[in-house]
Structure formats: C-alpha cells, structure tokens
Amino acid sequence: MSRTGLLRMTHDPLAAEDEGLMPFAAALNTPVPFDWPPEFHDEKTRQQLRGLLDQPPTDAVFSASYIFSSGRPVETCDFALVDRRPLPDLGEILTYSCRRPATT
C-alpha cells in the first residue's frame, strides 16, 4: 500500500534542487526520482516560489508543498488564499486559488 503525504516547501530544499538530484535527496533525506523535477516545477517556478516565501506575512495565506508517495517526492503543489470575508449567518468564506494545472 502506498502512503501519500505533504512536506512544506522551504528555502533549503528549493536551493538544494538547484544544485542537482543528490543535494536535493540529501536535503529531503530520501531518494529522489531521476526524472525530477516535475513538469510544472522548473527553475522559473522555483524562483517565483522563493519570492513568495520571502514576502512578509499578511492576511493572505500561501503554501507550497512537495507531495510524497511511498516515501519519495512525486510532485509539487501550491495554493493561495485569495479571498476571505465574513458573510451574515454563514461565517467566513474562504476562496483558494491553485496554480497547479489539472492533469488527466
């Protein structure tokens, strides 16, 4: 049975990714597939993620993660909370935006 999990993305593994598979595997303390990075996690995307991680905390929420399956990274994902507003009798409405394109 395969177990799936998330590991929050931070500057250290992002920097290790730029150095190659071996430094990235060492930063995660797990083997990394030879076809890493995934299609939508290129150098330009990692640069954008670093910029988002560098921004000071605000009411907006941003998170990026590595997706693991069977103990190995298989994909990345990130999302941002783009709208947060109270509505009468309904509490708070949260709207999320996901930058990861859907795959079939």
Tell me if 58 sits within 8 A of 96, measured CB to CB. no
Looking at the domain assignment, is residue 43 inside a domain?
A: yes
pLDDT band, residue 97 (cuts 50/70/90): very low
| Region 54-78 average pLDDT | 79
78 domain residue, yes or no: yes
The structural domain count of the chain equals 1
Residue 42 dihedral angles phi and psi, to the nearest 5°: -80, -175
Classify residue 70: in a domain, yes or no: yes
Q: Domain range for residue 66? A: 4-98
Buried b (16+ CB within 10 A) or exposed e, 18-40: eeebeebbebbeeebeeebbbee
On the question of pLDDT at 38 being above 80, the answer is: yes
Asked if residue 104 belongs to a domain, the reply is no
Is residue 103 a part of any domain in this protein?
A: no
CA distance 20 to 6: 21
Distance CA 60, CA 34 (A): 35
